[in-house]
Structure 1
Amino acid sequence: MAASQKLYAALFHVLLLSLFPLKTKSSARTQAEALVQWRDTLSFSPPPLTSWSRSNLHNLCRWTAVSCNPTSGTVSRINLSSLNINGTLAGFNLTPFTDLTRFDIQNNSVSGTIPSDIGSLSKLNYLDLSANLFEGSIPVEISRLTELQYLSLYNNSLSGAIPFQLATLPKVRHLDLGANYLENPDWSKFSMPSLEYLSFSLNELTSEFPGFITNCRNLTFLDLSANGFTGQIPELLYTNLGKLETLSLSDNSFEGPLSPNISKLSNLKNLSLQNNLLSGQIPESIGSISGLQIVELFSNSFQGNIPSSIGQLKHLEKLDLRMNALNSTIPPELGLCTNLTYLALADNQLRGELPLSLSNLSKITDMGLSENYLSGKISPTLIANWTELTSLQVQNNLFSGNIPPEIGKLTRLQYLFLYNNNFSGSIPPEIGNLKELSNLDLSGNQLSGPLPPTLWDLTNLQILNLFSNKINGKIPPEVGNLKVLETLDLNTNQLHGQVPQTISNITSLTAINLFGNNFSGSIPSDLGKYMPSLEYASFSNNSFSGELPPELCSGLRLQNFTVNRNNFTGLYSYDFSYNELTGPLPTGDVFQNASARYFDGNPGLCGKAEGLSQCPTTDSSKSSKVNKKVLIGVVVPVCVLLVIATIFAVLLCFRKTEQLGEESKIVSNGESSKSDLLDPRLEAPTGQAAEEVVFVVRVALACTQTKPEARPTMHFVAQELSARTQPSLAEPLDSITISRLRNFQK
């Protein structure tokens, strides 16, 4: 009996062991079926998951984007990032994936809500749902993923408060909830000491600085930018977060000074505090953060000096201090930052000359010094070494002297803005070496001499502004070489001669301004014919003659066109088609010589021109009636003003009777005549005009009657004024007195 029991027990264990592989195969098959079922709810462009099929269930571990646990044979990783997936997670049964450690579907178009059963993935340590279209709130069930180390929900449309339950994730090192619509949680319930990377950027958070962050001592990356955080930056941030390499608090409402303790962030490489309300001086201690590569403090209210200690930052690549209230000179020590590629000091109150030490910045690509009070000459030795420059912007300063010929060495320049300074002399011909230049603005200076012939070699120019200088000479035919030019502005110079016909070859022009010169001759006859985008054209204040180009408006986008103060003989015809114009056509050859097709699309237009119906005629009585209506529109307001004036006059009469004396008595007795009341400098009205004047005065005086019932109504006044004729005068206007005019009866 005992032997048979042992035999049964052994057989049971063998059977049990034999079932384990069956269980594993069943689990893998369940996962495969779940994946195929989900795939059928998705759309792809193009379809990338051809291996996910019911005919291939047995090869699950060889499927695209799937990795398996070699021991169990079940799915351990799913990586579907950047596969142009459209769909939701609603059709994905997550519960069979008990061994899943990594789920990555970033950069797709997965929408809907994040399902709550995502909390069943108990072994998950990496979850990336970023750059999708998820909406709704963050499910609190994510807090069940106790093995999670990496969580990114960045760049979705998630909303609601950040669930405080996320603080129970003990192993999370990377947490990115940026670029959503998340709101304030109860920060006092948060404690995440294991965090190394934290981003809440671009949300709708509006509290003061979250206190729990200052206890995240392992943080190397912190980004709270583009929210509504307020208050001061806490001192504990500087003293506790010594491992920080990136600190971005930009685009908030942080205020107060920048603490000298910032130097305790000794590992900092990127500092971005722009677009806040920070004030005071930039602390000198910033120069002791030796590893700094990027410093962005622009658009605050910093005052005082640019710290000379910045010269100690040997690794500095980008320094952006623009849009503050810095009022020092540029420190020579800045020239020691030889790795600088981007320097922006624009829109401050900087003064003085450029230090020659800046010539050491041989790697500089962007130099922005505009909107300051910088002065002096731009030394040739200063810029000769800036051969990597792509943008040089020093506009709106007080620079003077010549533009140095060494400017021609900056062959990578795309933007050259020297406008609104006091540069003088001629434009150096070396400027023709700047073959990559797209925007050239030298306007608002004292430049003189002719346009250099090399200027027309800049075939990549899109904007050429040379206006408000003293440039003379002619525009050569080579201007037609500038095939991609969009704006040509040479106004207010001393240019003369004819505008070359080749200017019509610049088909990309949207604006051409030549006003305020001494151009003569005719405007090129086909100007505008091949310029579909032309919007602004000004040729005024020149000596142009002849006829205007008939094709000027062929592009149909012209909004502003001025040619005043020239000697044009005028247009022969003009195209007014499809503008919904109404009313009679004005007289003149330019209108009446136009072809009938030029008036198409204007059903309300009438007049003496081909294709138009005649305007309806009006008899003299109708015309007179219209004139009377116009008279009402003018006289009624005048009457009201006259009534007010009369009331003030009566009050003054009562208060100043002693001063007025005999004149007051004459008026009160009503014996004043026309000669006492009307301006003797004006010619006396006669005929109908005299009748209307008398009637208006009678009505106005009637409006001042002491008894309300004796005053005429406004309806009656309007009726009388609209009458075709007024009663004729029985006596000369000179002999009519005020007393007679007061005898008005309704």
Structure 2
Amino acid sequence: CNLFEGSIPVEISQLTELQYLSLYNNNLNGIIPFQLANLPKVRHLDLGANYLENPDWSKFSMPSLEYLSFFLNELTAEFPHFITNCRNLTFLDLSLNKFTGQIPELVYTNLGKLEALNLYNNSFLGPLSSNISKLSNLKNISLQNNLLSGQIPESIGSISGLQIVELFGNSFQGNIPPSIGQLKHLEKLDLRMNALNSTIPPELGLCTNLTYLTLADNQLSGELPLSLSNLAKIADMGLSENSLSGEISPTLISNWTELISLQVQNNLFSGNIPPEIGKLTMLQYLFLYNNTFSGSIPPEIGNLKELLSLDLSGNQLSGPLPPALWNLTNLQILNLFSNNINGKIPPEERLVFVALSYNQFIGEISPDWGECKNLTNLQMDGNRISGEIPAELGKLPQLRVLSLGSNDLTGRIHAELGNLSMLFNLNLSNNHLTGEVPQSLSTLLGLESLDLSDNKLTGNISKELGSYEKLSSLNLSHNNLAGEIPFELGNLNSLRYLLDLSSNSLSGAIPQNFRKLSRLETLNVSHNHLSGRIPDSLSSMVSLSSFDFSYNELTGRIPTGSIFKNASARSFVGNSGLCGEGLSQCPTTDSSKTLKDNKKVLIGVIVPVCGLLVIATIFAVMLCFRKTKLLDEETKIVNNGESSKSVIWERESKFTFGGYCQGH
């Protein structure tokens, strides 16, 4: 290993006597120079762990190669054809590249001297040829994490020297070949993460040198063959994520005294855990979770002095915890949740991770749990634990998760819990806790989930709760909290999953700055005494998919933003003053009423004025018409001679008399 950079110099091809060339684990890049083919005597070529790219493989020819590694580079396209002519190869490693296509048939027929074939972590596809048996010297075949399919060929069992078979992470289906039982030197068989859908062949029990057997994450069924008890050297047994059933026979496991890891989780195993489990004194990992094991935990489990992790969760185990369990001085992880285990829970100082949720545990939480300084996870929710939460839990400097919900806990939440500076999940819900939420909890700046719902907490919601920078879920529902919702909650920009303040006695308005909770998916403020309008600004909460404003004293029109358009009326019921889509029709607003009143006043002024104008116009027209008629009559009188004179005289005498009278 060096720190060479740049490309491989072409001039290296001039070293014609070179037999061994290793540039492994540098920072070389660029195209592999085809001139390397000019090194006729090179038997060992290792260009692994660089950043090299494809050359023109057609220009390559290195028939003398015995060892070839292009491991961990940037090579693409199909299998390099020149390799199929390297008939002296004993070691070939093309793993951790981006090769595609099928493995050429010539690999199986021409490379008969191969002892190690490493093609893992590429994109090779297609079936595995039955001609694999022609690689008769093969000791190690590693083809994991490709796109290979079809059945594992039965002929693989004729490669008698095989020690390691790694085919996991492909799409192989069908049976596990019984012929594998012929591989007397087999030490490691890894077929996990395929689609194998048979039973486990009893012939596997003939592979007595097996130390590692994992068939996990397939579709295997049936019971475990008793012949597997012959695997006396087995150290790692992984059968999880299948549909295996039946009981685990005491005979089966009694000989597995070298076992370090036993993982049979996520199957259909039933019956009792055999007491013979106590003979596996080398065991460090025992995973039996998510089966249907019943009965009590055998006290013999206390003999497993090397045990680091014990997971029996998701079964039907009952009875109290055996006292011998606390003899496991190396135990760090204890998962017993989702069973029917009862009795009391003694503390254990050495434990790091404890999950005892959803059982039938009783009694009080011992203050001595505060001495478990390495504890990172304490989950006891869903039991029948009573008494107060010990203030001593505040002395656990590494605690990340504290979940005590759904018990019968009473008393106050102690301020000392605010000392749990590493805490990111706090669940005390569904208990009988009283008093106010201590302000010290606002100092838990790493908190991501806070659930204090379904208690009897009182007081106001502290504005300091708005200081959480990582909080994604906040549930304070079903308490006796009062006062207004502090607008500081609108500063919880990281809230994503839930903000539930429902079923309290909160009053006042919904804060306008809730609009800043742009990532929030669920908002529930129902069953309070909130008043005022639902802020139109909430329409900008684009991630909101569920909300409930029901049973408050809210008024006004429901906002018309996109998130409210198809909302169910159930989200708003119990607010007699709310109106809009799905509710009662909104009454005339004050502004429109004012506009109508203004119109009425205007009409009341305009109509009389217009009426007067019309009357005046009619009067003027009539007056003009009368004058015109009078002039026509005078014209006729003038034209009629004597009669006209008498009229004039008459008019003049009238005029004279008028003037006369006026004069007097």
Tell me the TM-score normalised to structure 2 length: 0.76
Q: Does the Cα contact within 8 Å between 1:228 and 1:253 map onto a contact in 2?
A: yes
Q: Closer, same or farther in 2 for the Cα pair 1:600/1:269, shift >3 Å?
A: closer
Residue of structure 2 equivalent to 1:690: none
- Matched residue, 1:148: 114
Distance verdict in 2 for CA 1:145–1:511, change over 3 Å = same
8 A contact 2:442–2:468 mirrored in 1: yes
Q: Does the alignment pair 1:231 with 2:193?
A: no
TM-superposed deviation, 1:151: 0.5
Which residue matches 2:618? none
User: In the TM superposition, what is the alpha-carbon distance from 1:534 to its structure 2 partner?
Assistant: 4.4
Match status 1:53 vs 2:53: no
1:406 to 368, 377, 381: 368
Match of 2:622 in 1: none
Aligned to 2:143: 177
**What is the identity, as a one-letter code, of the residue corresponding to 2:410?**
S
Task: Find out whether 1:100 has 2:65 as its counterpart.
Answer: yes
The CA distance in 1 between the partners of 2:54 and 2:10, in whole Å, is 21
- Displacement of 1:220 in angstroms is 0.4
The alignment status of 1:132 with 2:132, answered yes or no, reads no
1:347 to partner: Cα distance: 0.8
* 1-structure distance, mates of 2:455, 2:197: 52
The alpha-carbon deviation at position 73 of structure 1 amounts to: 7.9
Deviation of 1:536 after TM superposition, in Å, equals 2.1
CA distance in 2, matches of 1:409, 1:139: 63
Quote the residue 1:206 is aligned against.
173
Shift, 1:593, TM fit? 13
Q: Is the 8 A contact 1:164 1:185 kept in 2?
A: no
Structure 2 residues not aligned, in runs of 5+: 26-35, 543-552, 566-579, 593-664
Query: Out of 244, 248, 252, which is 2:214 matched to?
Result: 248
Q: Does 1:556 align with 2:521?
A: no
| Distance change in 2, residues 1:182/1:536 (3 Å) | same
Matched AA of 2:210: L
How far 1:321 sits from its partner (Å)? Answer: 0.6
* Contact 2:507–2:529 (Cα < 8 Å) also in 1: yes
1:192 Cα shift? 0.7
Instruction: Say whether residues 1:217 and 2:179 are aligned partners.
Output: no
Query: 2:222 aligns to what SS in structure 1?
Result: strand
Aligned residues: 545
Conservation of the 8 A alpha-carbon contact between 2:138 and 2:161: yes
**SS of 1:367's equivalent?**
strand
- In structure 2, distance between residues paired with 1:342 and 1:141: 47
Bigger CA radius of gyration: 2
Aligned counterpart, 2:377 = 415
CA distance in 2, matches of 1:182, 1:366: 37
CA distance in structure 2 between the aligned counterparts of 1:579 and 1:340, rounded to whole angstroms: 50
**Overall identity of the aligned pairs, in %:** 29
Cα deviation, residue 537, structure 1? 1.5
Letter in 2 for 1:554: K
Amino acid of the residue matched to residue 154 of structure 1?
Y
Structure 2 counterpart of 1:514 = 476
The amino acid that maps onto 1:384 is E
Q: Distance between the aligned counterparts of 2:41 and 2:493, measured in 1?
A: 66
C-alpha root-mean-square deviation of aligned residues, in Å? Answer: 3.2
User: Is 1:463 aligned to 2:428, yes or no?
Assistant: no
Report the alpha carbon displacement of residue 488 of structure 1 after superposing the two structures with TM: 1.2
Structure 1 residues 601, 423: closer, same or farther in 2, change over 3 A?
closer
Aligned counterpart in structure 1 of residue 161 of structure 2, from 173, 180, 194: 194
| CA offset digits 1:646-696 (Å, max 9, x no partner) | xxxxxxxxxxxxxxxxxxxxxxxxxxxxxxxxxxxxxxxxxxxxxxxxxxx
Say which of 450, 453, 470 aligns to 2:415.
453
Q: What displacement does 1:244 show? A: 0.5
Q: Which residue of 2 aligns with 1:529?
A: 491
Name the residue aligned to 1:264. Answer: 230
Determine which of 460, 466, 472 is the counterpart of 1:504: 466
The 3 A distance-change label for structure 1 pair 89 and 341 is farther
Structure 1 counterpart of 2:125, one-letter code: S
Return the match for 2:400 from 435, 438, 442.
Answer: 438
TM-score (norm 1): 0.68
* 2:333 counterpart of 1:366: yes
- 1:37-90 superposed Cα distances (whole Å, 9 cap, x missing partner): xxxxxxxxx9955362234543585976179x9xx98322222333234x4465
CA distance in 1, matches of 2:492, 2:200: 59
Quickly say closer, same or farther: Cα 1:590–1:132, change in 2 above 3 A.
farther
Shift of 1:187: 2.8
Secondary structure of the residue that 2:325 maps to in structure 1? helix
| Partner residue in 2 for 1:287 | 254
Are residue 304 (structure 1) and residue 251 (structure 2) matched?
no
Q: Secondary structure at the match of 1:479?
A: helix
What is the identity, as a one-letter code, of the residue corresponding to 1:566? Answer: N
In the alignment, the residues of structure 2 paired with residue 125 and residue 205 of structure 1 have an alpha-carbon distance, to the nearest angstrom, of 26
Paired AA for residue 237 in structure 1: L
User: What SS does the corresponding residue of 2:75 show, helix, strand or coil?
Assistant: strand
State the one-letter code of the partner of 1:54.
V
Q: Tell me the secondary structure at the aligned position of residue 375 of structure 2.
A: coil
> Is residue 79–residue 103 contact of structure 1 (8 Å, CA) maintained in 2?
yes
SS of 1:117 mapped into structure 2: helix
Deviations 1:502-540 (A, max 9, x none): 111112222211111111122223212242434421222
Equivalent residue, structure 2, for 1:3: none
Do 1:51 and 1:64's aligned partners in 2 also have CA atoms closer than 8 Å? no
- The alpha-carbon distance between structure 1 residues 99 and 329, as it changes in their structure 2 partners (threshold 3 A), is same
CA distance in 2 between counterparts of 1:560 and 1:571 reads: 19
CA gap 1:171/1:357 in 2 versus in 1, 3 angstroms: same
